[in-house]
Amino acid sequence: MAIGIYKITHTESGRVYVGCSVNITERCRIHVYDLNNCVHHSRRLQEDWDAYGAAAFVFAAVETVSSAGLLREREQAHLTASRPYYNGSLVSGYKVKPNRIDMTDQRFNILTVISEAPKAGARERRYWNCICDCGRSCVVSQDNLKHGGVKSCGCLQRKQQESGQRTHGGCGTVEHNTWASMLQRCRGTNPRSYKDYAGRGICVCLQWFDFPTFLKDMGARPSKHHSIERLDVNGNYEPGNCIWATKAVQANNTRGNRVIVHEVRSQTLAQWAAEVGMKPSTLRKRIEAGWPVGSALSIPVGLIKPGPRGRKR
């Protein structure tokens, strides 16, 4: 077990990596392992390893020291002298940050990271739960995400294999677009929709991550005036809580819509306005101006001009 400084040299170009360890043999074995698995922290070294192969490199101890306390000082001397091309920094003690990164919400190709999955394998590699743009979920190793070894749940390859054949039989249809934007809203990656969806805990039920199931449950959109609507605005996107609805129905069902109680009946402002044949905006102005509900609903429009107080909103 040698304590000291070692070099990894690409014999053809003379490019060098300098390192130090309390166990040079073991440290070099880990370098080889990482390089063979395409996860070495030095991108440059990895690229040359991939291009030229293991046989193009020489591992050698260049100096042994009597105690670990001397390692940094001696490593720095070698870094300064040889300015190694493969090192990320020429400062001794520079450590590539350990893999404590949080990848949640990051996107890699068509995958969005949802959460961390349990570590796996002998070297305890990190894995992440991802959701693919196609709606399927999958577990991908951090290395595969970062280096692009895995770009999708597998649907991209399938698409290629089927060479142009539609995977869902629905790509590009309005139903598919509705489904895709529903997933997008609930994924929580868009700050604009976050507060209305993911931020309120509204999610898409698991079976609807699959487009054909969504289409089977919802059916085709009846007309271009319809869009997807949740009956319980605090509920999830799931069978039983979703319908294709027109704009008028949706207006009755927004969170902000005021419920007005009059003569023991309670209806939304939009519904009362329709019942008495008044524009919802007129009724809203009257209520906000402090009119009693009975008068607001019964006095014909134009009969009373709202005064300065009434104009105030």
Residues within the interface to Zn ion (CB under 5 A) = 132, 134, 136, 152-153, 155
Least distance between Zn ion and beta carbon 118 (Å): 22
Residue closer to Zn ion (CB basis): 132 or 260: 132
Residue closer to Zn ion (CB basis): 34 or 133: 133
Least distance between Zn ion and beta carbon 96 (Å): 31
From the list 117, 116, 141, the residue with the least C-alpha distance to 37 is 141
Least distance between Zn ion and beta carbon 151 (Å): 9
Rounded to the nearest 10 degrees, how much is the dihedral formed by the CA atoms of 228, 104, 191, 184?
A: -20
Rounded to the nearest 10 degrees, how much is the dihedral formed by the CA atoms of 269, 274, 277, 280?
A: 40
Residue closer to Zn ion (CB basis): 92 or 178: 178
Least distance between Zn ion and beta carbon 125 (Å): 22
Least distance between Zn ion and beta carbon 10 (Å): 39
Q: How far are the Cα atoms of 291, 301, 302 from residue 305, in angstroms, in the given order?
A: 13, 9, 6
Residue closer to Zn ion (CB basis): 11 or 207: 207
Whether the Cβ atoms of residue 152 and residue 109 lie closer than 8 Å to each other: yes
Residue closer to Zn ion (CB basis): 74 or 168: 168
Q: How far are the Cα atoms of 10, 55, 151, 180 from residue 163, in angstroms, in the given order?
A: 42, 39, 17, 22
Residue closer to Zn ion (CB basis): 158 or 312: 158
Least distance between Zn ion and beta carbon 191 (Å): 24
Q: How far are the Cα atoms of 178, 218, 250 from residue 229, in angstroms, in the given order?
A: 11, 11, 7
